[in-house]
Amino acid sequence: MARLRVKVSATDPPVVDLLGLVAAGELFAFETLARDSALAKDLDAKAALGQIACREFGHFTEILQRLRDVGADADAVVGSYLPILSQFHAKTAPRDLLEGLLKTYVGDGIAGDFGREIAAYVDPDTRAFLDGVLTDDGRAEFVVPYVQQALAADPGAAGRLALWGRRLMGEALAQAQRVAADRPDLAELVVGGPDAQGAGLAEFSQMLARMTESHSDRMRALGLSP
């Protein structure tokens, strides 16, 4: 897979921008998982979701500290992404626990894919750091069997959840494109400078295609059509 020029400094504006985006995503993941925990009816589910939420919040605080360590205004960098992500979450508010779990597994998975894809263009130290904070954190281990058991008990829910998964993917891709368009520093990591624009745009399209394939794999793991 061809890669464009790499940012070699953790203090470069595009790298700081990427950290802000990932931090905002981790904050929303924490809040989403906490709400899912409140919707769960059995204690085991509440505990599992609460533990995952705590890990996400831990990642959020790690990124904030890293931003401060490189001299960035963490509040401003992370805060600039909150309106964009708020719109996504407002458009994809789940109606019940199953939709919430699917959003947690699929939606956060897409966000992680996006972060890892762009992290391929940054300095090795930042890339290793992002690989650590973008781990699954036990999400799949809990959500996949839970949803599979729910579908076994109610096969009729499969169609509704499959449609929900497609909607999540569509909204997530639209958000990724908006972020790339609205944040020139961040977009530069993917599309490069003016001299590399054509090749960069082609690579961005390939990136979206890889994200779509990963989404399909997650849906199949749940027993749902992508």
Query: Would you state the structure tokens that stand for residue 147, as one six-digit string?
Result: 């949803």
- Predicted structure pTM score: 0.87
Question: What pLDDT does 22 receive?
Answer: 94
Number of other residues whose CB lies within 10 A of the CB of residue 213? 11
Q: How confident is the model at residue 10 (pLDDT cuts 50, 70, 90)?
A: low
Phi-psi region of 130 (alpha: psi -120 to 50; beta: other; left: phi over 0): alpha
Question: What pLDDT does 66 receive?
Answer: 95
Res. 8: pLDDT tops 90: no
Could you tell me if residue 1 is inside a domain?
A: no
Q: Evaluate whether 149 touches 44 at the Cβ level (below 8 Å).
A: no
Of residues 79, 72, 71, the one with CA closest to residue 28:
79
Dump pLDDT digits (tens) for 84-114. 899 999 999 999 999 999 998 988 888 888 8
Question: What pLDDT does 198 receive?
Answer: 41
Q: What is the CA radius of gyration of the chain?
A: 18
Residue with tokens 């899912």: 36
Res. 7: pLDDT tops 60: no
What's the chain's length in residues? 226
Could you tell me if residue 46 is inside a domain?
A: yes
Dump pLDDT digits (tens) for 154-187. 999 999 999 999 999 999 888 877 887 777 777 7
Could you tell me if residue 197 is inside a domain?
A: yes
Identify the helix (H) or strand (E) that includes residue 159: helix 157-182
Residue with tokens 């996504």: 88
CATH for 202:
1.20.1260.10
Res. 216: pLDDT tops 60: yes
DSSP strand E in 28-76: where?
Answer: none
Could you tell me if residue 109 is inside a domain?
A: yes
Its domain, for residue 190, covers 13-221
pLDDT: which is higher, 195 or 12: 12
Spatial separation of the C-alpha atoms in residues 179 and 185, rounded to whole Å:
10
Res. 195: pLDDT tops 70: no
Q: How confident is the model at residue 133 (pLDDT cuts 50, 70, 90)?
A: very high
Question: What pLDDT does 197 receive?
Answer: 42
Q: How confident is the model at residue 199 (pLDDT cuts 50, 70, 90)?
A: very low
Spatial separation of the C-alpha atoms in residues 119 and 132, rounded to whole Å:
12
Per the structure, how many domains does the chain have? 1
